[in-house]
Structure 1
Amino acid sequence: MSQFKAFAPNVEVNGETALALVEGMGLFKDRGYRILHDHGIRDLKQGHWYPLQSYLDAFQTIYESTGDFTLFNIGKKIPDNARFPNSIHSVEEALHSINIAYHMNHRINGNVMYDPVTGNLLDGIGFYKFEKTGEREGLFICENPYPSDFDRGIAESMANRYKPKDCEYIILKLDLTKPTRKKGAESCTYTIRW
């Protein structure tokens, strides 16, 4: 499955997450609201749910009119808007938490896709996965319908929030030796060092 196409027709995204699209538009927030409206997401509010495919269609419109950088900025706003687990203290925990947050902010057939009591995740939207490969490095794998640069924004933002005090910067790069959704593959893999 490539980017911008929901894995299932009955998946929804919450208003908190959808608001990140507007926030990521910076000075052009009104345009973000208009794009969402044009794709059937009207009266955007926290606590409400909206069709994921409509949200992804809005992303595609933004990509076609402004390019990758805006998608990256929208991704950077996800940690400010969407729900995330509370107990995060490191880059590794931050990157692992993205998959849980992803499922917390989506539902399928009316059921939120993460159960905090059991820790169970429902299938139907793909995943995010962090694999540690060294003391301060790893792979971040994104297999979901969202655009690649949006995912890069989420990962970079979360890693920067929880980087160690002695870390100056995060190096996050798309691994071009692996398949990428930018070329129709089902996933993207990023290398990350801090």
Structure 2
Amino acid sequence: MLYNAFEPGLQILGQALYTIADGFGAFRSIAAQYFLAEGVGSQNPDGTLKLDLGAWYPVEAELRVMRKVEQELGSLIIFNAGKKIPENAAFPPSADIHTGLAAIDIAYHMNHGKNGRPLFDPATGRKSNGIGSLAYRPSATGNGGVLTAHTFYPDEFIRGLIVAMAAKFKPQVRVQVDPSQPSISKGGETTTWLISW
């Protein structure tokens, strides 16, 4: 469900949360006030949000802030926050666009946790459940693919994330919702993204 954690107690790593807050761009100080009202972080002298990058923060608070940002400042701000994720959040190494897009799901699990532990263990390669998935599969032609998002984040945030990750490998990428499938923003459980270059 959009903006509703799939289960109680889910957490986001401070480094990923900082990246999202930084992605609010010119509205960082406003977003900082929203986070502070949720009891998340403290305020830097310049008005921006101060977080412990290695700490875990409640996903529920993050989602309430994101909903408020989208409602009051617009979905473009949410898209831009999604675009920041590949810059600073923890990601596994990727050799090409296909491994990069497939790595989004691993990174999603690396940056979310429960009880102070990430939902992906790089030593074992094991992913824990609780946050859904961002499953990518390449097209048969090799010049595109499909990413199915089963997440509580808004579509524009995920679109920004996909665009930024794909742009690391290909300068011209098209990312659009599959109109023949349901989408999270319209009440569906998943959104299917068509990616081409």
What TM-score results when the alignment is normalised by the length of structure 1?
A: 0.93
Which residue of 136, 159, 164 corresponds with 1:157?
164
Secondary structure class of the residue paired with 1:4: coil
Could you list the runs of 5+ residues in structure 1 that have no partner in the other structure? none
In the alignment, residue 190 of structure 2 is paired with which amino acid?
A: S
Give the match for residue 71 of structure 1. 78
Give the match for residue 29 of structure 2. 30
For 1:42-101, what per-residue CA distance to the aligned partner results, in whole angstroms no more than 9, with x for missing partners?
A: 232200110001101111001111221111000000111210002x12110111000000
Q: C-alpha root-mean-square deviation of aligned residues, in Å?
A: 1.1
Cα drift, residue 34 of structure 1: 1.0
- Paired with 1:188 and 1:53, the residues of 2 have a C-alpha distance of 21
Give the match for residue 5 of structure 1. 4
Cα drift, residue 40 of structure 1: 2.3
For 1:13-55, what per-residue CA distance to the aligned partner results, in whole angstroms no more than 9, with x for missing partners?
A: 0111111222111122111211111222123220011000110
Which residue of 86, 97, 106 corresponds with 2:103?
97
Secondary structure class of the residue paired with 2:30: helix
Which range moved further: 68-77 or 33-42? 33-42
Matched-pair contact (CA < 8 Å) for 1:128–1:140: yes
Give the match for residue 187 of structure 1. 190
Query: Structure 1 residue 129 and structure 2 residue 132: aligned?
Result: no
How many residues are matched? 188
Give the match for residue 40 of structure 2. 41
Could you list the runs of 5+ residues in structure 2 that have no partner in the other structure? 43-50
User: Identity of counterpart residues, as a percentage?
Assistant: 32
- Paired with 1:33 and 1:53, the residues of 2 have a C-alpha distance of 16
- Paired with 1:80 and 1:119, the residues of 2 have a C-alpha distance of 23
What TM-score results when the alignment is normalised by the length of structure 2?
A: 0.92
- Paired with 2:61 and 2:88, the residues of 1 have a C-alpha distance of 19
In the alignment, residue 101 of structure 1 is paired with which amino acid?
A: A
Matched-pair contact (CA < 8 Å) for 2:10–2:114: yes
- Paired with 1:22 and 1:183, the residues of 2 have a C-alpha distance of 25
Matched-pair contact (CA < 8 Å) for 2:24–2:81: yes
Secondary structure class of the residue paired with 1:150: helix
- Paired with 1:40 and 1:175, the residues of 2 have a C-alpha distance of 37
- Paired with 1:51 and 1:23, the residues of 2 have a C-alpha distance of 18
Matched-pair contact (CA < 8 Å) for 1:21–1:32: no
- Paired with 2:22 and 2:192, the residues of 1 have a C-alpha distance of 26
Runs of 4+ in 1 over 3 A off after TM superposition: none
Which residue of 104, 112, 125 corresponds with 1:106?
112
